């Protein structure tokens, strides 16, 4: 599945959308549910995701948060329309994860909120929880570079003095 296929699946909405265009999403067995502009991810628990006995590995949680940001950003960029339908390449600039409590041996949910989207940069906040949305296990601040390539790049205007 390509990014365009994943975006098309996210565009149509629904439950259980497979995000296997990224090998890490396939490894985590992540599924997406879309309702309007909201995208919620679910990562089922697997023994291969264990860090300490009975606890999720922090890297799996961070990966889920990053995937939630990507899914939310793909939905937002799909509605852009000013690029003739071409999606920019997403390049993660920073990902700051705050681990709030340990993740147990159960499925984990994640969502992301687009806080600001410019022409070149997008900022998102993601949250992961297990059984209660009001008790997150981790949050993340994500900053992406929207690389539109040389054909789609922004034109810089220089002032003449």
Q: What is the CATH number of the domain that holds 102?
A: 3.10.129.10
Domain tally for the chain? 1
Q: Report yes or no on 67 lying in a domain.
A: yes
CA angle 115, 149, 40 (to 5 degrees): 35
- Predicted confidence (pLDDT) per residue in 9-63, tens digit: 666 666 666 666 677 888 888 888 877 667 889 999 888 888 878 788 989 999 9
Q: Report yes or no on 42 lying in a domain.
A: yes
Q: Report yes or no on 158 lying in a domain.
A: no
Q: Report yes or no on 130 lying in a domain.
A: yes
Q: Report yes or no on 160 lying in a domain.
A: no
Q: Report yes or no on 157 lying in a domain.
A: no
Global pTM? 0.81
Q: Provide the domain limits for residue 77.
A: 3-152
Q: Report yes or no on 83 lying in a domain.
A: yes
| Residues 72 and 117: beta-carbon distance below 8 Å | no
Q: Report yes or no on 89 lying in a domain.
A: yes
- Predicted confidence (pLDDT) per residue in 121-155, tens digit: 999 999 999 989 999 999 999 999 988 777 554 44
């Amino acid at each position: 599945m390509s990014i365009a296929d994943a975006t098309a699946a996210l565009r149509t909405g629904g439950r259980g959308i497979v995000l296997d265009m990224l090998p890490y999403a396939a490894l985590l067995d992540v599924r997406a549910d879309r309702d309007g502009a909201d995208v919620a991810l679910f990562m089922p628990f697997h023994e291969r995701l264990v860090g300490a006995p009975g606890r999720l590995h922090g890297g799996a949680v961070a990966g889920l948060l990053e995937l939630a940001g990507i899914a939310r950003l793909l939905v937002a960029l799909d509605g852009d329309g000013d690029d003739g339908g071409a999606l920019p390449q997403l390049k993660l600039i920073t990902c700051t994860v705050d681990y709030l409590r340990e993740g147990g041996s159960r499925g984990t949910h994640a969502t992301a909120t687009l806080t600001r989207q410019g022409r070149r940069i997008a900022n998102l906040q993601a949250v992961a929880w297990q059984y209660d949305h009001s008790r997150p296990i981790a949050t993340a601040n994500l900053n992406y570079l929207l690389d539109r390539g040389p054909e789609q790049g922004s034109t810089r205007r220089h002032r003449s003095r």
